[in-house]
Amino acid sequence: MGCGTSVATETQGKIIETDDTVKTPCPALTMKAAVLIQRWYRRYMARLEMRRRYTWNIFQSIEYAGEQDQLQLSSFFSFMLDNFTQLNENGPDLISQLLDPVVDPWLGRETGYNLIPVPESYSGPRLSFPLSVSDTSALLGAFKEQQTLHARYVLQLLYETKKLLKQMPNITHLSTSYTNEITICGDLHGRLDDLLLIFYKNGLPSAETPYVFNGDFVDRGKKSIEVVVLLFAYLLLYPDYMHLNRGNHEDHIMNLRYGFTREVMQKYKTHGREILQLFQDVFSLLPIATVIDGKILIVHGGISDQTNLDFLSSIERHKVKSALRFPRRSLEQLDIGQSCSQMKRGRSTASSRPSSSCSHSKDHRTPSQRKRRCGNRRQDSTVSTSSSSSSSSSSSSLCSPRTPSSLSPHPCPSPRMPCNVNVLQVPFLDSLSSVAPPLPPQQDLEWKQIVDILWSDPKTQEGCSPNIFRGGGCYFGPDVTQRLLLKHGLQLLIRSHECKQEGYELCHGGQVITIFSASNYYEEGSNRGAYIKVGRELVPRFYQYQVSRTTRKLTLTQRVRVAEGSALKALKEKLFSHRSELLSGLQQYDHKNTGNVSVSEWAQVLESVLRLDLPWRTLRPHLARLAPDGSVEYKSCFEDMDSGIPLPQVTPNMAETLFRYRTDIEIIFNIIDKDHSGLISVEEFRHTWRLFSAHLGVDIDDRAIDDLARSIDFNKDGSIDFTEFLEAFRVVHKLDNKDQQLNEKMNGDRCS
């Protein structure tokens, strides 16, 4: 060892000289030592960075895959609603139950709050309208103390907000000449801590501190109600200084899945439904865009090549209640019957889904084309907008969103179905329905314009392509941005919608800024949040922050480890819920039934079945064991996971289906359960299950369903507690306890 010997010789050689002085090692040695330590440390950090990046990829892939599922479910709902009235003469009118008809929002539901008594014992804020500063202060104080605002005040607040929003145009125009700098915030997703931190750092909304909040106030986080109540309260207090844009999560169907509905029903058991109804109206009345000084356009998602701000200004925005309810179509336009039966014939039993391109309806692109964005970029040094204010990031960022490089034309789903390029292939559950391109009816155009604004993402390549990954909106290229900005005399597009590691990111040569304000979005320490300030000179300045829940600061190592653990858990659940398909794919490479395949084969099967673009080889050590000869023991993937409560009537295949579609089933149940009691009737359960499994093409015996229904009706009163039912299909990680102990031990050993 070169260095080792040199230490000995050099110290020996220099001993006489350095004896009298403090034992300073010779400079050359110090330098060598320093270089060694630096080298080691840099490498360690790089490894950490890699892990963090992979973790990020996992979260993003799963998130986007989940959102895509969501859209499929909704297209199913829409179709059913538009075309069927009753499934079964004897059964309940399930479809009409599925979604409330669009009732004129100006009727009813208004002054009911007056009749709601507020008990003496209620110690929370008692709002008086019109709101004053003392009311908003009371709200801030109460929410910091974990108090809940009484339903009566929530309803009144919503009603007043609705009245106010009705008067607002679709696009809000602001001017910096009357105000100081305007602060622009991105997604909050129910993170009250982030909102409070922003208010603390930047000041409460006021004439001196005007704000624009760019959508996605609710869902995912646990305090969506508090966040949105505060935002609306300030809106009512200072309508000239507080501005809100609608986001894709200000949408009652999204709320069903992503947590807002659940939060409302849990916190407001009696009046939850009314509150949700009002939220539905208020959300659809939120303005869709804000323009500052005629130069900066702020929208939640992005734009498309069809975006027309003049047209957008003129439409009736409240008519688009939900982006996930497609405008009505007639049966002729939907070629669903043919494709549906096609799929059914293609399926054998519930045990395996054929992996032919026929059923790969979710995504036709090859994995490399589906690459999602990595939340780490380097700052493009040629970008003129400054980001110097307080961006002290350990990893700088590039300005090139990762996008599909080219969308290959869809492989023809089957020889029988005509592969007409003009026909849209709308994924719906696991089948494809051919939809003729939308006709010009006003409804369709309006719907598309709004969905584009709320759901689109920027990409690096030129052009505008459908955002198949999200299931709505577009991918828009720098040329689309350029054209729109030019057309309307704008210079900058500010949008949100995507989580960025540093809280913000520039692209399209600095013409597009993404701003995201929910720190630690995926996991503690996963990302910073940020906000933008613009003054009269219209140069954006960025301010970053990160909420830390623990009192002592987590080191990067700890953060990475925690985030990684979470991500891997989520990933393993995905594996588990696709077990039979994975096994059948793997067994095709394992003719001798040894239980082993090569690493390449393993990676390939996982990639094609799960359709998540992840570095499987690198992740392999966390997911599966290697045999002594270097091959993968593929069954080891599933070893440490199991289902919750075993129900004897549930066959393994049924269990898997339930795992996979657990969230979707939950949504359906939530919709059916009108009074949100947590119970549905046995009959409704049967209906739902049959409906759902029919469209999945999963053959489940009617009798099996009946048996199951009966068995879950634990107290035999004809109703099923579906929360309990769903609990049974939650994936349990057997090693959970062990992991926890290990983590605690490691934390204890650390010198912090």
Partner 1 sequence: MAESKQSAEVTVSDVHKTIRAAFEAFDYESNNTVDVREIGTIIYSLGCFPTQADLHDLIAEVEEDHTGFIQLDSFLPVMSKVLLEHKFPPIPEDLLLQAFEVLDKEKKGYLEPEELMKYMTQEGELFTQEEMDEMLTALADHEKNVVFYKDLISQLTIDPDM
Query: Site residues (CB under 8 A) for partner 1?
Result: 1, 3-4, 7, 22-25, 29-51, 53-54, 57, 368-369, 371, 373-374, 377-378, 392, 394, 396, 398, 400-405, 460-461, 552-553, 555-557, 600, 615, 617-618, 621-622, 749-752
H or E stretch including 346? helix 336-346
What are the residue ranges of helices labelled H in 504-598? 556-577, 579-587
CA atoms within 13 A on the CB side of 685: 23
H or E stretch including 641? strand 641-643
Q: Kindly state the tokens that stand for 582.
A: 């994975």
Residue 539: CB minimum distance to partner 1, A: 25
How far apart, in whole angstroms, are the C-alpha atoms of residue 58 and residue 571?
7
Residue 45: CB minimum distance to partner 1, A: 7
Which of 584, 714, 579, 566 is CA-nearest to residue 659?
A: 579
Residue 459: CB minimum distance to partner 1, A: 9
Determine the distance from the C-alpha atom of residue 320 to the mean position of all C-alpha atoms in its chain, rounded to a whole number. Answer: 21
From the number of C-beta atoms within 10 Å of its C-beta (0-12, 13-18, 19+), residue 172 rates as middle
Residue 4: CB minimum distance to partner 1, A: 6
Structural contact between residues 376 and 53, judged by C-beta atoms closer than 8 angstroms: yes
C-beta of 631 vs 653, nearer to partner 1: 631
Residue 500: CB minimum distance to partner 1, A: 14
C-beta of 15 vs 331, nearer to partner 1: 15
Whether the upstream peptide bond of residue 130 has omega within 30° of 0, thus cis, is yes
Residue 403: CB minimum distance to partner 1, A: 7
How far apart, in whole angstroms, are the C-alpha atoms of residue 197 and residue 545?
8
Whether the upstream peptide bond of residue 239 has omega within 30° of 0, thus cis, is no
Structural contact between residues 447 and 326, judged by C-beta atoms closer than 8 angstroms: yes
Determine the distance from the C-alpha atom of residue 647 to the mean position of all C-alpha atoms in its chain, rounded to a whole number. Answer: 31
C-beta of 69 vs 523, nearer to partner 1: 523
Residue 196: CB minimum distance to partner 1, A: 25
How far apart, in whole angstroms, are the C-alpha atoms of residue 47 and residue 51?
6
Q: Kindly state the tokens that stand for 334.
A: 């939907």
Residue 46 makes CB contacts below 8 A (sequence gap 6+) with: none
CA atoms within 13 A on the CB side of 739: 13
Residue 501: CB minimum distance to partner 1, A: 13
How far apart, in whole angstroms, are the C-alpha atoms of residue 590 and residue 96?
49
C-beta of 398 vs 694, nearer to partner 1: 398
C-beta of 400 vs 482, nearer to partner 1: 400
Residue 502: CB minimum distance to partner 1, A: 13
- Residue 695 is among the residues annotated as catalytic for this protein: no
C-beta of 39 vs 201, nearer to partner 1: 39
C-beta of 615 vs 652, nearer to partner 1: 615
Which of 52, 149, 141, 154 is CA-nearest to residue 113?
A: 154
Q: Kindly state the tokens that stand for 255.
A: 């709320």
Residue 15 makes CB contacts below 8 A (sequence gap 6+) with: none
Q: Kindly state the tokens that stand for 477.
A: 């290229």
Q: Provide the 10 A C-beta neighbour count for residue 607.
A: 15
DSSP 35-94: HHHHHHHHHHHHHHHHHHHHHHHHHHHHHHHHHHHHHHHHHHHHHHHHH-S-S-SSS--H
> One-letter amino acid identity for 409?
P
Which of 148, 227, 221 is CA-nearest to residue 185?
A: 227
How far apart, in whole angstroms, are the C-alpha atoms of residue 115 and residue 258?
31
Q: Kindly state the tokens that stand for 671.
A: 């919709």
C-beta of 146 vs 382, nearer to partner 1: 382
H or E stretch including 258? helix 252-258
Residue 337: CB minimum distance to partner 1, A: 38
Residue 40: CB minimum distance to partner 1, A: 5
Identify the DSSP state of 339.
H
C-beta of 8 vs 107, nearer to partner 1: 8
Q: What are phi and psi of 343, to 5 degrees?
A: -65, -40
533 - beta bridge partners? 183, 541
Residue 558: CB minimum distance to partner 1, A: 9
C-beta of 32 vs 328, nearer to partner 1: 32
Residue 200: CB minimum distance to partner 1, A: 23
615 - beta bridge partners? none
Residue 241 makes CB contacts below 8 A (sequence gap 6+) with: 179, 205, 206, 207, 209, 210, 211
Q: Kindly state the tokens that stand for 393.
A: 């990031």
Catalytic residue of the set 189, 243, 249, 695: 249
Burial 537-571 (b: 16+ CB within 10 A, else e): eeebbbbbbbbbeeeeebeeebbbbbbbebbbbbb
Structural contact between residues 247 and 300, judged by C-beta atoms closer than 8 angstroms: yes
From the number of C-beta atoms within 10 Å of its C-beta (0-12, 13-18, 19+), residue 44 rates as exposed
Catalytic residue set:
249
